Structures are given as structure tokens and as C-alpha cells.
Structure 1
Amino acid sequence: MAGGLSRRAVLTALPLTLGLSGLARAAAPGLSLSGKFVQGGYAVGRTAPRAMIDLDGLVLTTASADGWFVIGFDRDAPPTSVLTVTTPDGSAVDERAIALGDFDIQRIDGLPPEQVSPTDPALLERLAAENTRKVAGFASQADIEGFREGFILPVVGARRSARFGGQRILNGEPRRPHYGVDLAVPVGTPVRSPASAIVAFAETGLHFEGGLLLLDHGQGLVTAYLHLSKTLVSPGTYVRRGDEVALTGKEGRATGPHLCWRMKWRGRNMDPSLLVGAGPLLG
């Protein structure tokens, strides 16, 4: 990923206090891993405290002080993924097959042209500024372990109106996939935090998203809530699983009232519904 370090570069920087012969004899760190190994899926693992986590050749995160970590697999993840955890005493490797996702084709017509392909210079300038703020929110890397709790649905009584990952065709034009799960509910339905988190972003009035809330559940596992009518929390606030954090709406690029629920980790687009009902992960 952009900004990631190669595993070789990081290993070169490690203090070789044991010498080469000592490093060869050192015990590899333990590694346990569970999750859903599918495009858009996740894994939660435990290893040595603060071990470096290398996924597919890039060092993307470090384990917590207790050794916990989370990783995500993109909607377009390749068929295999290699995880390496490294400490000054050694490394451990876990290679997994990543199953193909099952994605729909979604057609939406009748959208205003400026909601599909904006051309107005003032709007483009506004969109660039909004994107800069959103990128900063998605870059959050809170040192917490909310991802271990298992997730609940963010709204009660919803009908799923669109699955994660569907290819979008807007006003007849093929666009990038839809990276969210759409949950149809009336305007003003309370949105709950699905797991403990730090609020990384909270704004209303965005062009595409309307009201947008970003929650970091630890190590940059960020869930996003779009088309909100109101946000109830401020950036930097710690929220617990089940806390009310926003109210649903139909703001931005939306054809009706619903919550678009998304998840990202280190730029990878994930299916948040895959974590629902998992229970406390790895004990």
C-alpha cells in the first residue's frame, strides 16, 4: 500500500543485538489467527507484543501492547495472502487462500448529473477539500482493541437494500464498486457504534455523503456511516459498543432514507457485516 514499508527495509532497521548466529537460534514468536478469509473479509490475531505485522510484503501495523492485531482483505484481494509477524527474536508466517467474493451489479438511474460526474469548478474545489479531511479521518490508527469485541449491527430493524461490493452503474455509466452495506431505515433512526471506538471524523453537509461519521475500532480498522441527518459525537471521543452516535437520513447522493455502512483498513475496502455476530474474537 502507499506509504507502506517493505519488510526488508524494516528488518534492516532492527537492532541486531543477538548477532546473526543468535538470530538464527531465536525462537519465533507465537501466532494465532481467526477470521473470514474472503475478499472483503478480516482476521484478528495474537502474537508477541508490538510485533511488526507484514501483509503481502508491506509492514502495515504493529501488534498492541498485549499482542493483538487486526488485518483486512480488500474487495479485490488476490487469491492468496501472506502474513508475517516479526520481532528481534524471529518471525512467524501464515499463508492463507482468500476466497472470491459474491458481488452484485447495481443500477441506479435518475441521479442529478453533479452527483455522478461533477464539472462545476467551485464544486470540484469543495470536493477536493472534503476529500482531504476524509483522508485524514480514514488515516486514524487508535491504539485500542475495540475490534476484538465482535460487532453488532449499527441500526435496529433495517432491511438490507444493497450488499457490499456490487458493481455500480449510475445513470447508465459504469462506476467503481459500492463499498458499503446499505441498510434501509426511516430518517432519524438511531445509529449505534457496533464496537468500541475513537471518533475519527464527524461532519454533515458533505456533497456525496451528506452526514458522515468515521469510527476507529483500533489500529485503523475504521467504519464509516453515510447519509446521516445528524451526528451526536465529536472527533476524539471514545464510544462504547451500543452507544448512539448519529441519526440516519437521506443526505448527499442517496435516492431514499438509508444508512450506508462501510469499513476500511489501511486503504482496503472491507465488508463490515462479516464481523457481525462473531462474538469476542480469539477469547
Structure 2
Amino acid sequence: MIARRLLLASPALLLARRAVAQELTWNGVPAQGGLLRGQALAGTRLALDGRAVRVSPEGYFALGFSRDHDPSATLSITKPDGRREEMRLPVAKRDWDVQRITGLPGAMVTPDEAALRRITAERAQLAAARGVDNAGTGFMAPMAWPARGRISGIYGSQRILNGQPRQPHYGLDIAAPTGTPISAALPGRVTLSGDFFFFGQILVLDHGHGVNTLYAHLSQRIANEGDVVARGDRIALMGATGRVTGPHLHFSLSWYQTFLDPQPLLPAEQG
């Protein structure tokens, strides 16, 4: 199994976190591809690199860092009494693997004009689903493995398809036989169900505050658009639809339009 985990914060970051102890806490490490989930004092307002961050009435919040985020980020904090401060967050740099995949049909690597029009329309649908911003706090729950199987692809790796460089891989691939059950990794609502060119049959779940998960290459979608699901509910079956070389689940995590690495949030062992 391929596993990449970031466990320790830098001394400077630990000092900064102590300085706002009991006012702002989070789980996770600021790192490229990382998601932080935390809690501030009720009434706190936050902004990451100038972008407002939703904070629930209880103070829960989530924020993420892209695969290629700069070495630092600025977290602006407006306290309930109106006082403001800024915290510099060192964003850990990560090294990315190169993954070479061969044997794909040529049309899946270099689509024709008709396929490109379809792909463009599907990207707009995905962007709309991943842009949902609601007040739910399902993202605060511990994340569960969506399926059991061999890890065949990891987040962030540079993809070389049939010898041609393509965009990085923005998900975690879990390989198992067609029909393997797939469950919701977090509680949430199904915001998109469809059959896409690259992803094949997919589901997108919204977990609140811009946090969403995507399940792709399915053989069957069990959950329907609009369904509210609990963590662990069966939502689909694994398959080999879309651009694949064999049956597997492509599982991705996003904060709004920013793809993140789900693996550091998953238990060490598949459950």
C-alpha cells in the first residue's frame, strides 16, 4: 500500500497555535493538499489569504491548501470583540510521484471535438456541485474509508497517460472487483449524480462549508441526487466506467474548487 502522512507541525506553527489556545484550534497540518478542520470562539470571523472562511454558529470551520500552494498562507482572525490579528501559516511542501499509465484507448487520452464539448459541459456541472456552500457541519465527522481494496493511485502524482503528460491525479484510487460496495466517507447530501466522459458514473456529496467528496468509475449508483446520507451508508458499487484500465474507485476530496488529499484524514487501516 502506498501511504503518505504528515503528522507534525513546525515549532513556529506550534507556538502560534499556543498563542491562540482556547480561541482557535484545528486538526491537521497546513500542507500542500491539506484540509484543516477546526473550531473558533463563537462569533469569530476568518479569512485565508484574503478569502472569507465560513464559520458556523458553534465556531466550526474548514479550510484547504492546493497541491501547489505557496510556502506560507495568511489566516486573518477577527475575534468576537472585533479585535483583529493575522497568523502566518507555514505550508509544508510535498514531493509528488510520477505515475505512468498505458493501454488507455486513444480517444480517452486525446478526445475529439464532440467529446471535448461534452467534457466542457460536465466540468461546469462539477464546478457547480463543488461550489455549494451550505451551513452543514458533516465535514467535522471522522472520515471513513469509502471502500476496501488495493491503493492503486495517490493524490498529487503527475500522470503520464500512454506516454503523454497530463494533469496531476487529484484523488485516491482504491482497486477491487466490480460490484465492491462503496459507502459515504462523511455524512452529507448527494449534490450530483451522473455518467461522465472521464469519470464514468459518479456521485458528489456535500458535507458543508464547501467540503465535498467525489466517487467515480462506479458500476451502479445507489444513492440519488438530493439524498441525505450518513457516514458508512452504501451509496454505490465499484466499477470500470469512464477512463480506466480496470475496476476501481476514484475517491476525491475538495474544499470548494480546490482538490485536496483525503488520505491523511483516513484511518491508518481500512475498516
TM-score range, shorter chain: 0.7 to 0.9
The AA in structure 1 aligned to 2:70 is P
- Of 89, 93, 96, the residue aligned with 1:96 is 89
Contact 1:142 1:198 in 2 (8 A): no
State the shift of 1:89 in Å: 1.6
Q: How far 1:187 sits from its partner (Å)? A: 0.5
Is the contact between residue 50 and residue 62 of structure 1 (CA under 8 Å) also seen in structure 2?
A: no
Q: Distance in 2 between matches of 1:50 and 1:275?
A: 27
Amino acid at match of 1:242: G
Q: SS of the residue aligned with 1:137?
A: helix
Q: Which of 249, 253, 262 is the equivalent residue of 1:263?
A: 253
Within 5 Å, which residues of 2 pair with 1:93-242?
Answer: 93-119=86-112, 121-156=113-148, 158-204=149-195, 206-242=196-232
- Cα 1:104–1:134, aligned 2, differ >3 Å: closer, same or farther? same
Q: Is the 8 A contact 1:36 1:274 kept in 2?
A: no
> Cα distance, 1:79 vs. partner?
1.1
Q: Give the distance between the partners of 1:159 and 1:50, measured in 2 at CA.
A: 44
Q: From the CA coordinates, give the structure whose radius of gyration is larger.
A: 1
Q: Contact 1:51–1:62 at 8 Å: present in 2 too?
A: no
State whether residues 132 and 256 of structure 2, in contact with CA within 8 Å, keep that contact through their aligned partners in structure 1.
no
- TM-score by length of structure 1 reads 0.82
Q: Which runs of 4+ in 1 moved over 6 A?
A: none
- What amino acid is aligned across from residue 232 of structure 1 in structure 2? I
**Percent of aligned pairs with the same residue?**
38
Q: Which residue of 2 aligns with 1:252?
A: 242
Q: Deviations over 1:113-160 (max 9, x none)?
A: 2211212x322222222222111111112311112111110002x110
C-alpha distance in 2 between matches for 1:171 and 1:78:
31
**Which SS does the other structure have where 1:36 is aligned?**
coil
Cα shift at 1:221: 0.7
- Asked if the contact 1:47/1:85 (under 8 Å) is kept, the reply is no
| 1:99-119 deviation digits (Å, cap 9, x = unpaired) | 122321011122222211212
**Structure-to-structure mapping, 1:74-85, within 5 angstroms:** 74-85=66-77
C-alpha displacement at 1:88, in angstroms? 6.7
Structure 1 counterpart SS, 2:259: strand
**Aligned residues, how many?**
246
CA contact (8 A) 1:31 1:92 kept: no
What does residue 16 of structure 1 align with?
Answer: none
Deviation at 1:30, TM superposition (A): 2.7
Residue type at the aligned position of 1:104: D
Change (3 A) 1:257 1:47: same
Distance in 2 between residues matched to 1:31 and 1:37, nearest whole Å: 14
Q: Report the RMSD for the aligned CA atoms in angstroms.
A: 1.8
1:101 is paired with a residue whose SS is coil
Letter in 1 for 2:167: R
For residues 85 and 277 of structure 1, the distance between their equivalents in structure 2, rounded to whole angstroms, comes to: 31
Letter in structure 2 aligned against 1:210: G
Gaps of 5+ in 1: 1-28, 279-283
> What residue in structure 2 maps to residue 37 of structure 1?
30
Which stretches in structure 2 are left out of the alignment for 5+ residues? 1-21
Question: Which whole-Å CA distance do the structure 2 matches of 1:51 and 1:116 have between them?
Answer: 47
Q: Distance in 2 between matches of 1:231 and 1:50?
A: 40
Partner residue of 2:3?
A: none
Looking at structure 1, the residues matched to 60 and 151 of structure 2 have their Cα atoms a distance apart, in angstroms, of: 32
Secondary structure of 2:28's partner?
strand
Q: Report how far residue 82 of structure 1 moved.
A: 1.6
Provide TM-score, normalisation by structure 2: 0.85
Q: Aligned equivalents of 2:117 and 2:167: distance in 1? A: 21
Return the letter of the residue paired with 2:134.
A
State the SS of the aligned residue for 1:127: helix
User: Following the alignment from structure 1 to structure 2, what is the Cα–Cα distance between the partners of residues 110 and 196?
Assistant: 37
